A and B are shown apart, each in its own frame.
Chain A
């Protein structure tokens, strides 16, 4: 370990920040370690559109770590506190109220805020977003049986909210001009199948964007693009992406470009500052990569940042992986389906479970599955180990995928 790094401050208590402090301790960092977060305690965000939104879990049940864990790991959790400025030249960060916290290295895990596109009327109180637990608390109060809900955006968050709202008895309209969403992530056929699940659950799918909102006597009227009839709702949720939180980085003079620009070791343009998770954007070989706004990617960033601070080689990257749970189905995807030149379907879209494998030049490069996580876990290992697989065996459901790896 670099001997002059004895105090590390991590800013932000999402999965990226918590994983960073965990990875530092797991890697043997024995210096002063502080995690600053604006919330009461760090919690996991995926349940905010599902179990937490449905009221089946409370905030304590989705805590990322137990309260004891911070003591056991000797991590100082400074909660309910915002970092207001980075002072790398002084070796410190400034907290709300002006207190300076000494830091030899700072790791920014500031995450993202919900995107709020400039749709006229979208600042009204009936228009929601979903990013923090407080957003979910507010949204839950309107998800009562019979409530008319408009979900804008049918990506991961929008689709999950729509599913939860239907479970709770709401009348749901789901609007997205992209048809189907997620095609780049899971392939066009599976994307269309997933999008079709909404109508099967009684959700009205409108293939359009929203041009404006206007308050009415008893709700909010949404005007759609492409000539679709305007409709009145009790509430609307915007699920149209996130905006990386770069304000601290910008104020500190760090390079940002729709994200805090980092190298492949997670180091920003200031060597004393690293960035991880949704707010970070990697430049590799001179090229800015798209941000990877996923739960596991944030942990991989954290592992790399910890390795950098510990002076060790970065752990090997694994194929990107995500899951989504909606309409009673568990969906997983791994790799980069857009790179595939051959698609192999295992099972039938008419009869889940099934999975889809993407191959390129005979190697598996991606997979996605409905209610068949084993297929994706197998695919992940095929991708990472560059195992050559016979497509005819891949598509035969009687062939054990584990056996193909041996």
Chain B
């Protein structure tokens, strides 16, 4: 088990928003969206919506879900589970840890 990749300072991600971490950093197939919920918690999902080519990091984050900026499918921040159409497939979650105001990402580890 690694210590994770330091990908951002917590203060870089406003509540209710997200930032993209490039796949060259994460080593994953897709870029990863680092999403900060309205309660301040930080979550990570594959960035590309499973419906069409849209970045979930640009979506609306609120109360445990992110809403895709293109056609408003919502995904659970914790599980990646799709909540409503038009997307029909869930997305992949990744584990995140916040230590001393720094955000560490554990790609492909279950949250």
Q: List the interface of chain A (C-beta within 8 A of B).
A: 15, 19, 44, 46, 51, 63-66, 69, 296, 299, 321, 323, 330, 373-374, 377-378, 400, 402
Q: Which of A51, A66, A377 has the most B CB atoms < 10 Å from its CB? A: A377
**Which of A15, A65, A323, A374 lies in contact with B71, CB distance below 8 A?**
A323
Whole-angstrom distance between the Cβ of A24 and the nearest chain B Cβ: 15
Q: Which residues from chain A contact B88 at a C-beta distance below 8 Å?
A: 63-66, 69
Name the CB-closest residue of B to A371.
B69
The answer to the question of B17 belonging to the interface, with a C-beta cut-off of 8 Å to chain A, is yes
Within 8 A of A (CB), among B56-111: 58, 60, 67, 69-72, 84-86, 88
Report how far A402 CA is from B69 CA in the complex, Å. Answer: 14
Known: A44-B85, A373-B70. 11 other contacts (CB 8 A): A15-B85, A330-B70, A373-B69, A373-B72, A377-B60, A377-B67, A378-B60, A400-B14, A402-B16, A402-B17, A402-B60
Distance in angstroms from A189 CB to nearest chain B CB is 23
Q: Which B residue's beta carbon lies closest to that of A296?
A: B72
- CB-CB nearest in chain B for A51: B52
B84 contacts across to A, CB distance below 8 A: 299
Q: B14 to chain A: which residues have CB within 8 Å?
A: 400, 402
Given contacts A374-B58, A374-B60, A402-B17, contact A19 B85 (CB under 8 A): yes
Residues of B within 8 A of A15 (CB): 85
The interface residues of chain B lying within 8 Å CB-to-CB of A374 are 58, 60, 69
Q: What chain A residues lie within 8 Å of B52 (beta carbons)?
A: 51
- Tell me the complex Cα distance, A339–B88, Å: 35
> How distant is the Cα of A66 from the Cα of B82 in the complex, in angstroms?
13
Q: Please give, as numbers and ranges, the residues of chain B lying within 8 Å of A69 by CB-CB distance.
A: 88
Bound together, the chains give a CA A374 to CA B68 distance in angstroms of 10
| B-side contacts of A321, CB under 8 Å | 72
CA distance A377 to B60 in the complex (A): 7
- Bound form: Cα–Cα A15–B88 in Å: 13
B68: nearest residue on chain A (CB-CB)? Answer: A373
Given the complex of chains A and B, what is the CA–CA distance between A64 and B89 in angstroms? 10
Q: Contacts A323-B71, A377-B67; is A46 near B86 (CB within 8 Å)? A: yes
Q: In the complex, which residues of chain A have a beta carbon less than 8 angstroms from the beta carbon of B17?
A: 402
Distance between Cα atoms of A147 and B93 in the complex (Å): 46
CB distance from A73 to the nearest CB of B (A): 13
A373 and B60 CA atoms in complex are apart in Å by: 9
Q: What's the minimum C-beta distance from A200 to chain B, rounded to whole angstroms?
A: 22
Nearest-CB distance from B19 to chain A (Å)? 14
B13-71 contacts to A (CB < 8 Å): 14-17, 52, 58, 60, 67, 69-71
Complex-state Cα separation, A299 to B84, whole angstroms: 10
- Chain A residues lying within 8 Å of B67, measured Cβ to Cβ, are 377
How many angstroms between the C-alpha atoms of A323 and B86 in the bound complex? 12
The 3 A-B pairs at the shortest CB distance, nearest first, are namely: A377-B60, A373-B69, A402-B16
CA distance A374 to B17 in the complex (A): 10
Q: Which residue of B lies closest to A378 (CB)?
A: B60
**Closest A residue by C-beta to B52:** A51
- Smallest distance from the beta carbon of A332 to chain B beta carbons, Å? 9
Q: Is the beta-carbon distance between B85 and A299 smaller than 8 angstroms?
A: yes
Most chain A beta-carbon contacts within 10 A, residue among B17, B70, B72: B72
Write out the residue numbers on chain A whose beta carbons fall within 8 Å of the beta carbon of B86.
44, 46
In the complex, the answer to whether B60 meets A64 with C-beta atoms within 8 Å is: no
26 interchain pairs, CB-CB under 8 A: A19-B85, A44-B86, A46-B86, A51-B52, A63-B88, A64-B85, A66-B88, A299-B84, A299-B85, A323-B72, A330-B70, A373-B70, A373-B72, A374-B58, A374-B60, A374-B69, A377-B60, A377-B67, A377-B69, A377-B72, A378-B60, A400-B14, A402-B15, A402-B16, A402-B17, A402-B60
Q: B15: which A residues are within 8 A, CB to CB?
A: 402
Residue among A69, A296, A373, A378 with most chain B CB within 10 A: A373
Bound Cα distance from A378 to B67, whole angstroms: 12
Query: A66–B88 Cα gap in the complex (Å)?
Result: 8
A402 to B15, CA, bound (A): 9
Closest B residue, CB atoms, query A400: B14
> How long is the Cα–Cα vector from A136 to B67 in the complex, in angstroms?
29
Q: What is the CB-to-nearest-CB distance from B81 to chain A, in angstroms, rounded to a whole number?
A: 13
| Nearest CB in chain B: distance from A142 CB, A | 25
